[in-house]
Structures are given as structure tokens and as C-alpha cells.
Amino acid sequence: MSVFLQGLYEGIINGSILALIAMGIALVWGVMNILSFSQGEFLMLGMFVSYYANRLLGLDPIVAMPLSALVLFVLGIIIYKLIIARALRGPILSQRLITFALSMVLVYSAQLFFGAEYKTLSNPVKFSGTIDLGFLTIAKQKLVPFLLALIVAGLLFWFLRYTRMGKAIQATSMDRYAAGLVGINPDRAYTISFALASAVAGAAGCALTYYYYLYPNVGATFQLWGFIAVAMGGFGSITGAFLSGLLMGIADTLTGLYVNTAIKYIGVCVVFLVAVSFRPKGIFGK
């Protein structure tokens, strides 16, 4: 029983990172109708911010998290203004592929400037250690991605539903031109959405450095599962992306634990296939 509980708990924790990536992708897709292939690379950049904050300033990732989110938010604005906004005026294929090209530039730039070798945090992390409950072992640092996913999901929900800008973003996602007619600046709504998605990935990257190694291609590993979580939750649904990420983490861990570790990702894919068989637009898709 304790192994099952441990597996269930770890599944939720592992799924939190997927949920965080998926929420960023869902936000960009839901508002701008662009599949953000660079979300994994924003996660990678967040990890590098965390790594250097730890190495140069001795900061814990949890302390570096606001800095990382801010850096990625600003970077998101710059990238949107200089690249994405222009591509949005072009043909649909360009819109879809522009973030793919961007992801390649970010990976190779990281390789050039930070090196291709594997890195882990070099200075001791203060927020670490385990809490042993007898039936459950809780690694403190692994609570960070879970709590972050909860906070981000809550904040995004609140922001989109109850703030003026959030409502403007929702209106723009429904009909960009109609939103413009009632005085909403669609370009501003797009900019904020893209930057917010980047900031979420930046914060997730910080949380990930607590237990995962860092290298320029690290984003691709998580991004694919992020896309599946978005498709399973329903394109554009933040709640769907969050819950699907957690569900995928649980499926991954329990399949590995009770079926076979060699095919644990089949378990995840079976859950996805079943979900879209019953709900082709995703669990929360409309």
C-alpha cells in the first residue's frame, strides 16, 4: 500500500512539471492560435537562470524563481514584438513554424554560450531534505513544482476571469477583430499572453533544477509531453492542461511500478488515446 501511495504521490509531483509546460502552451494556443514549439526552450532558459543564480549568487531555485519569471517575461515580450507579431501577419504555415525555428535558435545559442555538457546546481541547496511519514517519503524540493503548478493554475484562472486585461485577452481569443472594435488592443493582449506563457516556463525551469540535470536540449524532452497534455486537456484550456499533466504523471509512474518500466510511456499514451476517443476535442475542449 505504501509503495502505491508513494507512486501516486510521485506521479502527481512528476506531472506538475508537465502541467506547467502545458499551461503555457495552452495559453498561447488558446489566445493566439499558435502552437508554441519554443515553450520547452523557455523552460531550458529558466533552468539556466536558476543554475547561474545558484552558481554565482548561491541562491536556491525557489529564491531565483521570481527573477527567472521576470527575465523570461521580458524575453517573451521582446520575442513577441520582434518575431511573432510579424509572423502573425504572414501565411498560416509561417505562424505555425516560427516558434519551431525560434526553438532551434535558442537551443544552439544556449549550446554556444553555456556549453553542451550536463550541469546540476553547484552550490548546496537550502530547501532540501526529506520528510518521512512512515507510509510516505516527501522530498521537500519536489514539493516546489507541485505548489508552483497549483499557484500558477490559480493565478491564471484568476487573471483571465477577474482582471480587466484577462477579460481583454479572453475577448481577443474569441474574436480578435470584434475585440478591436470595442476598444481592446489585440496586439497588447497577445503580447501579455506570450510573455506570461514564457514566464510560467521560466518559473517551471527553476523548480525543475532541484532534481533534474540541465543541458541545452532539455526542453525537448518535456515539451512533447506538454503538447500531449494540452491535446488531452483540450486545446486552449488551462484547467484541462493542468489536470492532464497531473494525470499523465500518475499514469507514467504507476505503469512503471505495476506493469513495466520499459513501457511506462505506453501507459501515458493509452490514457491519452482513451481520453481523445471519448472526448475528441480533449477533456475540457469545446
Partner 1 sequence: MKKFLSFFLAVTMIFTLAACGNNTNSGNQNGSAGDGQSDGNTIRIGVLTPLTGSSAQLGNQVAAIYQMLTDVINEEHPELTMAMAASAGITSMDGAKLELVIADHKSDATTAVSEAKRLITEQNVVAICGEFTSAIAKAVAVVTEQYEVPLIVSCSAVSLTDGTNDFQWFFRYAITDETYIKDTFDFMNYLNENYDAGIKTIAMFSEDSEFGANIVPIEEKYAAEYGYEIVEKINYSSSATNLTSEVLKIKEADPDVLLMSSFVSDALLFFNTCKEQKYTPNFIIGQRGGFIQSDYLTAMGDENNYICTTGSWASDINTDVTKELVDLWANSSYNTEKVDLMDSHVKDAMNLLFLAMAIEQAGTTESTALREALLNLDYDMDTLMIPWNGISFNEYGQNTQSNGFVTQYYDGAYHTVFPAAGASMEPVFPMPEFDY
By CB under 8 A, residue 10 contacts partner 1: yes
Residue 254 contacts partner 1 per CB under 8 A:
yes
What's the chain's Rg over C-alpha atoms?
A: 19
Smallest distance from the beta carbon of 24 to partner 1, in angstroms?
A: 16
On the 0-12 / 13-18 / 19+ scale of CB atoms within 10 A, 133 is: exposed
| Cβ proximity of 44 and 110 under 8 Å | yes
> Smallest distance from the beta carbon of 122 to partner 1, in angstroms?
9
Query: Which is nearer to partner 1, 182 or 262 (by Cβ)?
Result: 262
Q: Please give the grid coordinates belonging to residue 201.
A: 516556463
Contacts of 154 (CB under 8 A, 6+ apart): none
Q: Tell me the sheet residues that pair with 139.
A: 130
Please list, in sequence order, all residues whose beta carbon lies within 8 angstroms of the beta carbon of residue 210, skipping any fewer than 6 positions away. 61, 121, 125, 127, 128, 141, 142, 144, 145
Q: Within positions 184 to 243, which residues make up the interface with partner 1, using CB under 8 A? A: 211-213, 215, 217, 221-222, 225
Total residues interacting with partner 1, rule: CB under 8 A: 51
Tell which phi-psi region holds residue 285, choosing left (phi > 0), alpha (psi between -120 and 50) or beta: beta
| Minimum gap (Å) between residue 72 Cβ and partner 1 | 17
Q: Please give the residues from 94 up to 153 whose contact with partner 1 meets the rule CB under 8 A.
A: 105, 108-109, 111-112, 115-120, 129-130, 132, 137, 139, 141-142
Q: Is 37 in the site for partner 1 (CB under 8 A)?
A: no
Residues forming the site for partner 1 (CB under 8 A):
3, 6-7, 10-11, 14, 17-18, 78, 81-83, 86, 105, 108-109, 111-112, 115-120, 129-130, 132, 137, 139, 141-142, 211-213, 215, 217, 221-222, 225, 249, 252-257, 260-262, 264-265
